[in-house]
Amino acid sequence: MADIPLLVTSQNTSSERRVSPLWTLAHLKSRLEPITGIPANAQRLSLFISHSETPILLTPPDGRADHDYTVGEFSALVPFARVHVDDTRPFSSQENYTDVTRVEKFELSQEEYAKRDDTVLAWKKRNQLGRFAETASDHANFSNNAAEVEATGITVGKRCRVVGPSERRGVVKFVGPVPELPSGRTDENDNVWIGVEFDEPVGKNNGTIQGVKYFDSRTNHGSFVRPDKVEVGDFPEINDLFDEDDEEV
């Protein structure tokens, strides 16, 4: 005999199952116990079929027991009917799977979290993102002297690209010291930053830092970056609609 597909529900579960008509009612309840969490001896099964809102109790007739009455003997058990499992135990004895206050929570101290290498924090450190990007200690040995920066050819108006986890292109709009940003240098001239207006909204500001405006930029198109991150040259704006070798017509 072919298996019968049924929808099995309880207070906390819902799943589709295939039931053999040859199973005894006792065996069916034993199979439903790990699905619903209700012990077999505390289960009351009710059958709901599409054309009737009145449930049919799945209990063997008088003189028969669960272990000697098969599922196939219930004539009302049709494919795709719903079998609901009620828990007959007192409420105080039932497991409460929705009360999260009774679940022991996993907690990790900040010190332990910082030591792990498989976290978002570790990923940000590796890629120098967020508060780990462009800090003074990271750039202590980089060229931040105004004369050295000028020698690299980084000047206002030139096209550039900013290297990092991903390439960003734009135009140099400012070259000079920015007292509002961390330096790590004692000489103001050694605290040179490059103000860039990016082609796309991948920046952090509009050329303004702490209320001081250093250059004009569209909102979220401007950023201040360290000179070692900037390369000037023939870096046209990227057009996603065309390949670099294609001619626009």
All structural domains of the chain with their residue ranges: 4-93, 106-135, 143-232
DSSP string, 75-118: TT--TT-EEEEEE-S-GGGS--SS-GGGSPPP---HHHHHH-SS
- Please name which of 2, 5, 6, 12 lies closest in space to residue 48, comparing C-alpha atoms: 6
Q: Which fold has domain 4-93?
A: Ubiquitin-like (UB roll) (3.10.20)
Q: Is the pTM of this model over 0.85?
A: no
* pLDDT reported for residue 137: 41
What CATH class is the domain 143-232? Answer: mainly beta
Q: Which residues pair with 169 in a beta bridge?
A: 161
Tell me the pLDDT tens digit for each residue of 191-205. Answer: 789 999 999 999 999
Tell me the pLDDT tens digit for each residue of 84-104. Answer: 999 999 988 887 777 777 778
Q: 83-101 burial by CB neighbour count: b if 16+ within 10 A, else e?
A: bbbbbeeeeeeeeeeeeee
Average pLDDT in the chain? 84
Tell me the pLDDT tens digit for each residue of 39-72. Answer: 999 999 999 987 777 899 999 998 899 999 999 9
* pLDDT reported for residue 140: 43
What token pair was written down for 183?
Answer: 């330096």
Tell me the pLDDT tens digit for each residue of 203-247. Answer: 999 999 999 999 999 999 999 998 988 999 999 998 755 444 433
Q: How far apart are CA 70 and CA 28, in angstroms?
A: 9
- pLDDT of 139 > 50? The answer is no
